[in-house]
Structure 1
Amino acid sequence: MDFKLTEEQQMLQETAARLVRDTYTFDKREKASASDTGFSPEFWQQMGELGLTAIPFPEELGGFGGTGVENMLIMKELGRGICLEPYMESVIFAGGLITQLGSDTQKDELLAGIASGELQAAVALDEPNSHYQLSEVQTTAKQQGDSWSLTGRKAVVIGGHTAGKILVSARTAGDLRDQQGISLFIVDPASTGVTRRNYATVDGRKACELFLDNAQGELLGQAGEAFDAISYQAGRAMAALCAEAVGAMEVACDITLDYLKTRKQFGVPIGKFQALQHRMVDMRTELEQATSMAILAACVADEADNAERTRTLTAAKFMINRCGRKVAEEAIQLHGGIAMTWEYSLAHYAKRLVMISHQLGDDDHHLEAYANQMSVA
């Protein structure tokens, strides 16, 4: 199989890499993390001006017709900079749901803003007790004439604290864990009945708990039939997270190798010690495995929904979770105490890798899901 990038893909990768390298220093990231928005609006605007926020959308909707491979190239560079901007949540996940389920009017109203970077969207699918099960939805929606009223609570809505629109899953029929009966709604967080409790996450980002009390929502797609689209777009989002993790792992490995070459003990660089060399090789091995799985996930992310695609993405996310956490743990151990200081960038790469290993499903969740899929097959 030919894994060479096309000329256009190489230009896209170079554009994203140059943007992150030249404008997203660690000091600027820390200032952005401490701000009210939790990310850099200026960097987000630059991404929009360069067309990076329009990459995944079809050309007829104002995008560039990018695939999972193009998403991978961008997300990998964002991972190298441990960028705080909610690109995956807004562009890939929310944008994908609107593209798949939205009416022509909804697409015209929302996708142009998301593609230009003028509108930031978020997805609210998890609940306090759902534990990665997207079908476990207690939030309810009731139709009142031509409008819908939503009541419930959503947890860990990444980027939801600044989002102009939030896509909320709610149950309109069926029992608690039924896949049928789940609908998706567009909610304006500034409307009556919507409350957000904002907080910082462990990796320096910001999120919110979303409380809905008879809040008005605009139906996206057909009532009760949104689960398949949610599951499909969650797969695309997982592939994007895999690519981001690989970017973060690459930098963590590079930082650790540089440290082993410069840190001296007993008059020689500690990288001379064979035991530490072996651990460094183990880190690189994990990185190679993760890279292969991220490429595989990117190649199948936009394929038609089927069992093989689901198994591949589940396996990729499991491997990325395991490899990312292994790299983070080894990097900290090889650095010693300095790895735990807040001013040292490695600690933040480790935190982001741990966060990715829990976002959209941890090891146990995906291992069980993969086993169930093999049993069915």
Structure 2
Amino acid sequence: MDFSLTDEQRMLTDTLDRLMADRVTPEQRRAMLEAPAGEHSALWQTFAELGLLHMPFAEKVGGLGGDGTDLMLIMQALGRGLVPDAYLAGLVLPGDLLARLGDTGQRERWLAPLLEGEHQLALAWQENDARYDAHGIATAARRDGARWVLEGGKQLVLNAASAAALLVTARLDDGGLGLFVVPADATGLSRRDYRTIDDQSASDLTLDAVSLSDDACLGRDVAQALDASLALGRAALCAEAVGAMEVACEQTLDYLKERQQFGTPLSAFQSLQHRMVDMHLHLEQARSMAILAAASLDRPAAARDYRLAAAKAYCGEAARFVAEQAIQLHGGMGMTDECYVSHYAKRLVMFDHYLGDADHHLEHVSDHLVDVV
């Protein structure tokens, strides 16, 4: 199989690398994190100007027709830069569902401004008692005349504080799984905002008799579309983890070359060389799994989900291994906020938990091994 990039993809990679180096220094990243919620960064507007917000979407919905490889390249660059902007949570996941399920009016109202950088959205699918099961939800939607009424709660909704609207999954009276666009200022919707350990903006939602118009419903049987969008998100996370692991390995190696003990650089000690080799082995194996994930998005659902589960499980374990080794090889200073590798380590640890951890996905692989193979 040919893994070489096209000329356009190499240009995309070069552009992103320069952008990350110029616009996402440690100081600039801290300023982004300290900005008020809902205030779009200058970097986000640059993404819009460069067409990066259009890239992952098909031309028929206003995108540039990028494929899984294009998304992988973007997410790797964002991982290397440790970009705090919610490209995945605020654009890719909700945008993909709108592209799959929305009618012309719904796409014009919510998707078109999203691709132009005018607002961001968020996907609310996780619930406290469902763990990572996107279908086992308790939030309910019922008809009230010509309107819908939503009752329930959602946990760990990334980017909710900056979203103009939330895409909320809910169980219908007939047992189907529905998806609803809930404006951020809807009556009955309340949020508890917080930061995850890797500085991501997250919220827990309470929906108390939230009344919505009929056109707020994107679909009454969205299970397959939701699975496809979450698969896309897992492929994106694998790529982002690879980018972050690259920098963690680079910074750790630079530290070992610079730091001396008994007049000798730490990089000269064979035991530490072995640990760096282990870090790079995990990185390269994770890179292969990220490529597999990106190449599997167009496969039938069963094969796609099996491969994505295997990729996410391995990348999650590899990310945690690289994070732990980077911290240990830096010593005590690796735990400090001033040591930038600590921020990569926190992000890498959390990669394993977003959209299903390694245990969850290994269980899926085990349960479907015979069916797929």
TM-score w.r.t. structure 1 length? 0.95
SS of the counterpart of 2:66?
coil
- Does the residue aligned with 1:56 lie in a helix, a strand or coil? coil
Secondary structure at the aligned position of 2:349 is classed as helix
2:349 pairs with 1:354? yes
- Tell me what 2:262 maps to: 266
Amino acid aligned to 2:49: E
Shift of 1:39: 7.9
| 2:97–2:226 Cα contact (<8 Å) kept | yes
* 1:212 aligned partner: 207
Which residue does the alignment assign to 1:343? Answer: 338
Which residue in 1 is equivalent to 2:97? 97
Q: Measure how far apart 1:219 and its partner are.
A: 4.1
Aligned sequence identity (%): 45
Specify the code of the residue in structure 1 equivalent to 2:154. Answer: K
Distance in 1 of aligned mates of 2:225 and 2:217: 11
CA–CA separation in structure 2 for the residues paired with 1:202 and 1:362: 16
Question: Separation in 2 of the partners of 1:314 and 1:296?
Answer: 11
Unaligned 5+ residue runs, structure 2? none
Residue 193 of structure 1 corresponds to 188
Render the CA deviation track for 1:169-200: whole Å, top value 9, x for unaligned. Answer: 001036xxxxx511100000111111111111
Equivalent-residue separation in structure 2 for 1:11 and 1:114 (angstroms): 24
AA in 2 matched with 1:351:
K
- 5 Å matches for 1:81-92? 81-92=81-92
Match of 2:271 in 1: 275
Cα deviation, residue 222, structure 1? 3.1
Q: How far off is 1:105 after superposition?
A: 1.2
- Deviations 1:291-334 (Å, cap 9, x if unpaired)? 00001111112x04421111110000001001000000011111
Cα distance, 1:298–1:193 mapped onto 2, change above 3 Å: same
2:37 aligned residue: 37
Counterparts in 2 of 1:160-309, with a 5 A limit?
160-173=160-173, 181-217=176-212, 218-223=215-220, 225-301=221-297, 303-309=298-304
Q: Is the 8 A contact 2:181 2:218 kept in 1?
A: no
Distance 2:25 2:138 in 1: 42
Q: Alpha-carbon deviation of 1:38? A: 8.3
Can you list the C-alpha shifts for 1:56-105, whole angstroms capped at 9, x where unaligned? 11213221001111111111000001111111112211111011111111
Q: How does 1:86-125 map to 2 (within 5 A)?
A: 86-125=86-125
Deviations 1:19-70 (A, max 9, x none): 1111111111112213322886211111111110110112132210011111
Q: Which runs of 5+ in 1 are unaligned?
A: 175-179
- The 3-state SS of whatever aligns with 1:247 is helix
Distance 1:341 1:40, change over 3 A: farther
Q: Give 1:135 deviation, angstroms.
A: 1.0
TM-score (norm 2): 0.96
Question: 2 CA distance for matches of 1:173 and 1:261?
Answer: 63
1:38/1:222 CA distance change after superposition, 3 Å: closer
Q: Is the 8 A contact 2:92 2:233 kept in 1?
A: yes
Query: What residue number does 1:177 align with?
Result: none
Mapped partners of 1:339, 1:11: distance in 2 = 34
Q: What do residues 223-255 of structure 1 show as CA deviations (whole Å, max 9, x unaligned)?
A: 2x1111111110000000000000000000000
Mapped to 2, the partners of 1:80 and 1:194 lie a distance apart of 35
* Distance apart, 1:17 and its partner CA: 1.7
Contact 2:38–2:163 (8 Å) recurs in 1: no
Could you tell me which amino acid in structure 1 is paired with residue 268 of structure 2? K
CA–CA distance in 2 between the matches of 1:47 and 1:146? 39
| RMSD of aligned Cα (Å) | 1.4
The corresponding residue for 1:54 is 54
Q: Cα distance, 1:129 vs. partner?
A: 1.7
